[in-house]
Amino acid sequence: MSNDVIKSADAIEIADRLRPVLLTMGRELRREVAPLGVTGGQASLLASIHHRPGIGVRELAELERMSAPGMSANLSRLERMGYVIRTRGTGGDRRRVGLTLSPEGVKMLRKIRSLRTRWLAERLEGLSPAELAAVDAAIEPLSHLLRETR
């Protein structure tokens, strides 16, 4: 067997074991925000807007891999909750709407991050030093995988 075939089989085996772990972890982290009155998807939108102030609705829909109507519905909810502000473009394109977080949206995002970090830290504390080091060593390669998809 060639090295490429072995490498591919290893990657498939690792992916098969990693996928359910990541899915479950993502689901648990999304559940952590439910008591705050936001969904995991809404939390993701708040974070994306926070990292890209002024982002357009269409750009955000593409970034989040969401349909334009679905994005509009989510943004309307976040706007009604007082977390997102839509600002009409000035000058060249007055049709363009830029999105920013309101002060309340920034506070909510901080609460979300705090809850999720606390949840994860509590679980990490249960690992041995070697397991914790292994998780720490995996962060950069996993981050690299995510950068390739965006």
What is the predicted pLDDT for the residue at 126?
95
In the prediction, which pLDDT does 121 show? 96
* Structure confidence at residue 87 (pLDDT): 87
- 3-state SS, one letter per residue, for the chain: CCHHHHHHHHHHHHHHHHHHHHHHHHHHHHHHCHHHCCCHHHHHHHHHHHHCCCEEHHHHHHHCCCCHHHHHHHHHHHHHCCCEEEEECCCCCCCCEEEEECHHHHHHHHHHHHHHHHHHHHHHCCCCHHHHHHHHHHHHHHHHHHHHHC
Identify whether residues 71 and 129 lie together within a single domain.
yes
Do 59 and 23 lie in a common domain? no
Do 90 and 139 lie in a common domain?
yes
Residues 64 and 4 in one domain: no
| pLDDT value of residue 94 | 62
User: Within this chain, do residues 5 and 66 fall inside the same structural domain, yes or no?
Assistant: no
138 and 67 within one domain: yes
**Which structural domain range is residue 91 located in?**
33-149
- pLDDT value at residue 1: 54
Q: What is the pTM of this model?
A: 0.80
The pLDDT tens digits for 122-135 are: 999 999 999 999 99
Spell out the per-residue pLDDT of the chain, length 150, in tens.
556 655 777 889 999 999 999 999 999 998 888 899 999 989 999 999 999 999 998 899 999 999 988 898 999 999 999 999 998 765 566 667 899 999 999 999 999 999 999 999 999 999 999 999 999 999 999 998 887 655
Indicate the number of domains in the chain.
Answer: 2
